[in-house]
Structure 1
């Protein structure tokens, strides 16, 4: 299980890339906790948040989120194998996947 602080730090390291997202995305971690990425207003804030309103909610394990951030797991592979579930805007999820892949 990946540490939530490590995940937040890893996402913050990608904030320059994520600043073009323009939406709020919440990661609900199946092994406990949640992370909100707010990329509205031209800047990115990353916080631990459960149940916060977001344009898209992505549900996955903390280990799989870390693999996505590190580029060790393709977002499309995670989705097609059921390791990643998406609620809300599929378009936002696709845009985020493209930014993480980049």
Structure 2
């Protein structure tokens, strides 16, 4: 299981690319009973451990999130194999997928 603080750091390292998202996303970590909230609606991307409301909620394990961030698995493969479930805006999730793939 990947450490939540390491995942937040890894997402923060991608903040430049994630700034183009212009939406909010929450990653519900199924194996850690916590969530990571990404707010890219302002001039600065905020990433923190929080269960705040978001436009898209991705439910996945911390290991799957780590693989998504590092490019070891693609978002579409994670979704199609059931490692990633989505609640909320599919459009926001697709935009995030494009930013993570780049």
- Structures share a fold, TM > 0.5? yes
TM interval, shorter chain, is over 0.9
**CA drift at 1:17:** 0.1
TM-score (norm 1): 0.97
TM-score (norm 2): 0.97
Name segments (4+ residues, structure 1) moved above 6 Å: none
What does 1:1-102 correspond to in 2, within 5 Å? 1-32=1-32, 33-50=34-51, 52-102=52-102
RMSD over equivalenced CA pairs, Å: 0.6
**CA drift at 1:14:** 0.1
Mean CA deviation greater in 37-46 or 5-14: 37-46
Cα separation, 2, equivalents of 1:79 and 1:57: 13
Q: Give the total of aligned pairs.
A: 101
